[in-house]
Structure 1
């Protein structure tokens, strides 16, 4: 297995010639990985071919239920993916124990050539295949910030308004991860439909939380600034009456809390031109720059909340965390 994982093709050949063929070649480790699956992970094409010629099974799954197709796609090895699909007729639609497909993993890890190839093989219905969390390949691309892949998926019919089992959209997940470029990309998809753009900003998940709420809790300063520019409501609360600012305070994200607690936002207005939050989102306004525009660290809990001079306004900010 070690030789296969490192692509030592000559060593693998010697081992096979010395009798390590038959059932031995499919010996599994504690994770149910075989010499073949380890060679696929590393992308050693010649070693994979050698093992297949020695009758290594390409239909064995690892401990997570991943097939050779999933492993090849997840690691971005397009030649191996083609080999398994064309020569060994393996399925594109097999799922692992999390319900995820080859396309889902290729999208998550940014392998655009693999995504492009897979989309050419799939039907429109298969592009939005759901995993066990009801998340699609597009959701994973949004989380990781791959706009090119998002465009590829959209061009093949992926739904950027899809809601997962918690009622969260790709936009919500992108906001939580601080993917500002993705948020701009998704908003511009609705540029000609201002009503849809505003709905995207104000959509609440099953816990009553907006994209701004998730961004604030994670300390995504630039994301919060972007969402405010586009007209999201800074005073929107979840089912527990927690506002985005309260989530920021709970996690010690003081700069985010300052931005959300400015005089204008406190009165329901956007900083800058004091435009009502119900304004059309196609004309984002400029927010006043902060002294430190870097995304605030989640570990900024050492900053004192009292420094905000917000005495009496930090309701719900204490305690060990907010459950949603």
Structure 2
């Protein structure tokens, strides 16, 4: 059985009709012939774009075109995900697959075409295939969310044209298409959504994170710079924990973002737990961020609400390179303060003498 299975799947993927014919003649192509994820040869033909094999398997061998793999995907889902439009068209118009059918995650073929960046498939589905762009997956995602996250501007434009209400739609965890574009660092999509679609850059995810925070956390400096410069977004925006863009950049070691924020006047603030960006950098062992913050006047002796300095957090988490650096700088700055006090006393003494 496993020999025939391997031959059948390989033939379906390669488009080798002769092998499929001989397997069928030998009575080896039953509907029980499934791979380890329960996909049939029809799935393999569809996801490889081999229409002649797909048709043969459905029309001659009578394998079900609507068969589902373990994740609930039909061959139509597979063709949409890999972008083979002719296979998808045949499955939807001749093969009995239905355009609104969902896999186990609630995704339709339109979701998958958008998610994997196939604008030609998106276009056909919207304008000939009867797809509905207002359907959400189990996580509350529209096709427009996937196009934005993928950075697929042509698909996004088609979807916005079809369903403008989707522009500010939020998934179950509160992410908008703009939030996802910023998180993935897609500058052109970010500009398009804000400038052409009036996407709201202040809509927050459930945890209070804004598109600015998402860009900072992932280290996408061009997106962050654009948001602050052109989208009326403030450096001081806080999530539900009181964290700013600077906290997010520091905690993930994004030195470019951190330097840009400091250079352009962003404040080093404390979150609701008393933690500064320096605490976050130290806790995660981000030495270069610790150095940038220390040089830019972050308070080394600031304690969070548990009474810990950044150096303490670095130490607890085993980041000895960070704790050593911070304690050294602390000692030096203390000596420097003492030194400058002595110098000013000398100066006063000189003035009294004169």
**Aligned match of 1:14:** 90
Asked whether 1:153 is paired with 2:153, we answer no
Please report how far the alpha carbon of residue 122 of structure 1 lies from its aligned counterpart in structure 2 after TM superposition.
4.9
| Aligned position for 1:37 | 111
**TM-score of the aligned structures, taking structure 1 as reference length:** 0.76
Contact 1:234 1:268 in 2 (8 A): no
Q: Taking CA–CA contacts closer than 8 Å with sequence separation of 6 or more, which of the two structures ends up with the larger relative contact order? A: 1
Distance in 2, Cα, partners of 1:153 & 1:258: 36
Shift in Å, 1:43: 1.2
TM (norm. structure 2) is: 0.70
Q: Structure 2: state its 5+ residue gaps.
A: 1-76, 339-354
Are residues 1:237 and 2:320 paired?
Answer: no
Question: Structure 1, residues 79-108: CA drift from partner, whole Å, max 9, x if none?
Answer: 011001124434211000111101100001
> In the alignment, which residue of structure 2 is the partner of 1:261?
327
Structure 1 residue ranges without an equivalent (≥5): 191-196, 277-324
The whole-number CA distance in structure 2 between the counterparts of 1:45 and 1:240 is: 52
Say whether the 8 Å CA contact 2:250–2:258 is kept in structure 1: yes
User: Does structure 1 residue 247 correspond to structure 2 residue 323?
Assistant: no
Q: Does 1:132 align with 2:132?
A: no
Whole-Å separation in 2 of the counterparts to 1:7 and 1:20: 19
SS of 1:127 mapped into structure 2: coil
- Which whole-Å deviations, capped at 9, do the CAs of 1:46-100 have from their partners, x for residues lacking one? 2222323121221111111011111110111100110011244342110001111
CA distance in 1, matches of 2:114, 2:337: 55
1:227 to 293, 311, 324: 293
Cα distance between partner residues in 2 of 1:30 and 1:16 = 19
Residue 272 of structure 2: aligned partner: 206
What does 1:29-178 align with in structure 2 at a 5 Å threshold?
A: 29-52=103-126, 53-123=128-198, 126-154=200-228, 155-178=230-253
Shift of 1:266: 3.2
**What is the root-mean-square deviation in Å for CA atoms of aligned residues?**
1.8
Please say which structure displays the higher CA radius of gyration.
2
Distance in 1 (CA, whole Å) between partners of 2:156 and 2:198 is 18
Give the Cα separation in 2 of the matches to 1:131 and 1:12.
35
